[in-house]
């Protein structure tokens, strides 16, 4: 089962700075276990370009498709047996401590 | 002939087993529920006419299984799956343990924390207890189509996000069990509240009994069952003939369910105190025996507030200390409980202050506070009870 994990910032002030995992350890461990297919850190939304086609014309907008305080700063594609395993992988990510992670399963299973 | 009503009622014990096992084998929640319900409907139709079969549970399982095979065959499901369904509840195999595990799996899946709390309660009622969606909707003050959508959405999430059909083990079990117990607790209070759905309390007891039997190594499960039994034992004494609430100290104790109290107390004798339900059950036990031991109750609340430092627990602690050590002690703890502001305008907190102030001798102020509590409470039954207290203070 594949899950897209969005790595996001969080505007809520409360964070958990105790025993924050190391990202390198997280990546290496999940790569070795075959639970992380790929993933990366993304450039900020300020350099995003939004693309639409309307009336046969390509319309470009400078910036993200929605202006929000929380932004997606990275992503990982996970390969997990089920949601419980994906939750455990997400909970061990450093951004779970001061940001938020969103797990979205692939629709085609 | 066995009483048909009794047999059909006993058939509901089979309902969760049927649903749980069919979900495990087919992975199809709707199919599992439909087949279990059709079996129940067939029993209601045939048993009064043909007599109750010797093994009602087996009869229901056979009808449900055959129905499932029919549906799956028409859907051209692969042969191995059909065989797996056909093997369900095969009397030549002794799968009792696995069937029990199926029901436990179902409970843990319905109560998965990736579902909203409300969805968990609704799904548990619908899938495990077989409660009609219309009744669940009424208890949640919403419409049947809305509740249907909510339950359908929860089921789709279980499938689409692949929420596992499994009882967690080890550390994960310790993490997840409190969530399951919380769902049962919420279910019970929905049944027990002044305007609640009384049948939900019985369902919660049934599920807690099942959980306690299936998880003998977890003291909080039987503790929760004991807590329910002890609270529920007072169900017939909580209302007067006009339907108004009767406070504990004024209840006719001859109306209390002695058997339920005895069972609750017996469970507690055999169960160590490990968590909040163990403590709450012991508080309920103190209330269930003659000559309420308020100092003990106050001591239990001291422990509970350390485990669960919530404003409502702190409020109940103030009540206990007020009865055990005098209204001044109660009022001082009440002020502490209110310090965070979470209890502002909370009717129960106002009523507690009214009671403490009244017992301290300031009856006019107490009457005023009881009226303020009555104005803040949403339930008509509770409002009448508070206004009656206010009137007493005016005497």
**Between chains, do A107 and B160 touch, taking CB under 8 Å as contact?**
yes
**Between chains, do A109 and B160 touch, taking CB under 8 Å as contact?**
yes
For residue B161, give how far its alpha carbon lies from the nearest alpha carbon of chain A (Å). Answer: 5
In a domain, B182, yes or no: no
> Is B164 an interface residue toward A (CB < 8 Å)?
yes
ipTM for the complex shown = 0.87
Considering chain A, what percentage of its residues have pLDDT values greater than 70? 99
Q: What phi, psi does B306 have (nearest 5°)?
A: -70, -40
Q: Specify whether the CB–CB gap between A86 and B141 falls below 8 A.
A: no
Domain containing residue A56: CATH number: 3.30.70.1060
Q: How many folded domains does chain A comprise?
A: 1
Q: Specify whether the CB–CB gap between B289 and B318 falls below 8 A.
A: no
**Between chains, do B168 and A81 touch, taking CB under 8 Å as contact?**
no
Q: How confident is the model at residue A108 (pLDDT cuts 50, 70, 90)?
A: confident
Q: Which helix (H) or strand (E) holds B86?
A: helix B79-86
Q: Which residues in chain B come in under a pLDDT of 70?
A: 1-5, 8-10, 90-100, 193-196, 395
Residue A12 belongs to what domain range? 2-105
> Is A81 an interface residue toward B (CB < 8 Å)?
yes
Nearest to B224 by CA among B210, B241, B237, B242: B210
Question: Judged by CB atoms within 8 Å, which residues 11-50 of A form the interface with B?
Answer: none
Q: Which helix (H) or strand (E) holds A31?
A: helix A23-32
Residue B72 to residues A5, B17, B28, B83, B113: CA-CA distances in angstroms?
35, 19, 10, 11, 31
Q: Packing angle between helix B347-359 and helix B380-394, nearest 10 degrees?
A: 20
The pLDDT value recorded for residue B3 is: 67
**Between chains, do A84 and B160 touch, taking CB under 8 Å as contact?**
no
The pLDDT value recorded for residue B242 is: 80
In a domain, B230, yes or no: no
Q: What phi, psi does B135 have (nearest 5°)?
A: -70, -40
Q: How many folded domains does chain B comprise?
A: 1
Q: How far apart are CA B370 and CA B44, in angstroms?
A: 50
Residue carrying structure tokens 């329910």: B228
The pLDDT value recorded for residue B1 is: 43
Q: Would the pTM count as exceeding 0.80?
A: no
The pLDDT value recorded for residue B86 is: 79
Q: How far apart are CA B89 and CA B18, in angstroms?
A: 9
Is beta strand A36-41 parallel, antiparallel or unpaired with respect to A72-79? antiparallel
CB within 8 A of B213, min separation 6: which ones?
B100
Residue B18 belongs to what domain range? 4-93
CB atoms within 10 A of CB A37: 14
Q: Give the DSSP letter of residue B128.
A: I
Q: Which helix (H) or strand (E) holds A79?
A: strand A72-79
The pLDDT value recorded for residue B93 is: 58
In a domain, B300, yes or no: no
Q: How confident is the model at residue A21 (pLDDT cuts 50, 70, 90)?
A: very high
Interface test with B, best of A82, A89, A91 (most B CBs within 10 A): A82
Q: How far apart are CA B197 and CA A88, in angstroms?
A: 37
Q: Specify whether the CB–CB gap between B264 and B205 falls below 8 A.
A: no
Contacts of B166 in chain A (CB under 8 A): 84
Contacts of A78 in chain B (CB under 8 A): none
Q: Which residue from A minimizes the CA distance to B109?
A: A84
> Is B141 an interface residue toward A (CB < 8 Å)?
no
Q: Which residue from A minimizes the CA distance to B165?
A: A82
Q: How confident is the model at residue A11 (pLDDT cuts 50, 70, 90)?
A: confident
Q: What phi, psi does A40 have (nearest 5°)?
A: -165, 165
The alpha carbon of residue A41 and the mean position of all alpha carbons in its chain are separated, in whole angstroms, by 9
Q: Which residue from B minimizes the CA distance to A1?
A: B162
The pLDDT value recorded for residue B42 is: 92
Q: Specify whether the CB–CB gap between A44 and A8 falls below 8 A.
A: no
In a domain, B379, yes or no: no
**Between chains, do B161 and A107 touch, taking CB under 8 Å as contact?**
no
B236: left (phi over 0), alpha (psi -120 to 50) or beta: alpha
In a domain, B166, yes or no: no
The pLDDT value recorded for residue B96 is: 52
The pLDDT value recorded for residue B56 is: 87
Point out the residue among B112, B114, B162 whose CB comes nearest to the CB of A1. B162
The pLDDT value recorded for residue B269 is: 96
**Between chains, do A83 and B168 touch, taking CB under 8 Å as contact?**
no
The string of pLDDT tens digits covering residues A66-81 is 888 889 999 999 999 9
> Is A84 an interface residue toward B (CB < 8 Å)?
yes
The pLDDT value recorded for residue B100 is: 60
Q: Specify whether the CB–CB gap between B302 and B279 falls below 8 A.
A: no
For residue A77, give how far its alpha carbon lies from the nearest alpha carbon of chain B (Å). Answer: 14
The string of pLDDT tens digits covering residues A28-77 is 999 999 999 999 999 999 899 999 999 999 999 998 888 888 899 999 99
In a domain, B44, yes or no: yes
In a domain, B72, yes or no: yes
Q: How far apart are CA B292 and CA B247, in angstroms?
A: 14
In a domain, B75, yes or no: yes
**Between chains, do B161 and A109 touch, taking CB under 8 Å as contact?**
no
């Amino acid at each position: 089962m594949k899950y897209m994990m969005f790595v996001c910032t969080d505007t809520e002030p409360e964070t958990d700075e105790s025993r924050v995992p190391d990202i390198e350890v997280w990546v290496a461990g999940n790569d070795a276990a075959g639970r992380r297919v790929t993933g990366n850190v993304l450039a900020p939304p300020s350099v995003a370009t939004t693309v639409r086609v309307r009336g046969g014309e390509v319309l470009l907008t400078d910036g993200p498709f929605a202006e929000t305080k929380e932004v997606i700063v990275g992503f990982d594609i996970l390969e997990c047996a089920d949601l419980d395993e994906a939750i455990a992988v997400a909970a061990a990510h450093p951004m779970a401590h001061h940001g938020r992670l969103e797990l979205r399963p692939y629709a085609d299973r | 002939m066995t009483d048909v009503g009794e047999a059909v009622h006993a058939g509901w014990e089979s309902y969760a087993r049927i649903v749980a096992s069919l979900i495990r084998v087919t992975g199809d929640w709707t199919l599992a529920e439909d087949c279990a319900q059709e079996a129940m409907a067939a029993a209601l139709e045939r048993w009064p006419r043909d007599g109750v079969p010797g093994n009602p549970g087996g009869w229901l399982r056979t009808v449900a299984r055959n129905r499932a095979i029919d549906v799956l065959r028409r859907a051209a499901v692969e042969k191995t799956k059909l065989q797996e369904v056909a093997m369900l509840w095969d009397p030549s195999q002794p799968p009792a343990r696995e069937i029990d595990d199926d029901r436990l799996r179902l409970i843990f899946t319905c109560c998965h924390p990736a579902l909203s709390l409300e969805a968990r309660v609704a799904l548990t009622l619908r899938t495990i207890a077989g409660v009609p969606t219309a009744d669940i909707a009424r208890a949640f003050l919403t419409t049947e189509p809305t509740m249907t959508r909510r339950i359908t959405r929860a089921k789709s999430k279980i499938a689409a996000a692949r929420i596992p059909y499994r009882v967690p083990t080890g550390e994960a079990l310790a993490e997840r069990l409190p969530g399951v117990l919380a769902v049962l607790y919420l279910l019970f209070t929905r049944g027990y509240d002044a305007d609640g759905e009384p049948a939900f309390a019985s369902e919660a007891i049934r599920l807690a009994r099942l959980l306690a039997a299936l998880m003998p190594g977890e003291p909080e499960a039987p503790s929760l069952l004991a807590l329910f039994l002890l609270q529920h034992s007072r169900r017939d004494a909580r209302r007067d003939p006009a339907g108004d609430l009767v406070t504990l100290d004024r209840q006719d104790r001859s109306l209390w369910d002695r058997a339920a109290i005895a069972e609750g107390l017996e469970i507690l004798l055999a169960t160590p105190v490990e968590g909040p339900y163990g403590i709450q059950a012991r508080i309920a036990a103190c209330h269930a025996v003659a000559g309420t031991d308020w100092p003990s109750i106050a001591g239990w609340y001291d422990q509970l507030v350390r485990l669960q430092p919530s404003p409502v627990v702190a409020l109940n602690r103030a009540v206990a200390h007020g009865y055990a050590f005098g209204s001044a002690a109660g009022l001082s703890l009440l002020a502490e409980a209110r310090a965070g502001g979470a209890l502002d305008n909370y009717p129960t907190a106002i009523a507690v202050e009214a009671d403490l102030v009244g017992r301290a001798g300031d009856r006019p102020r107490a009457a005023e506070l009881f009226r303020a509590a009555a104005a803040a409470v949403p339930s008509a039954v509770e409002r009448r009870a508070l206004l009656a207290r206010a009137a007493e203070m005016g005497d």
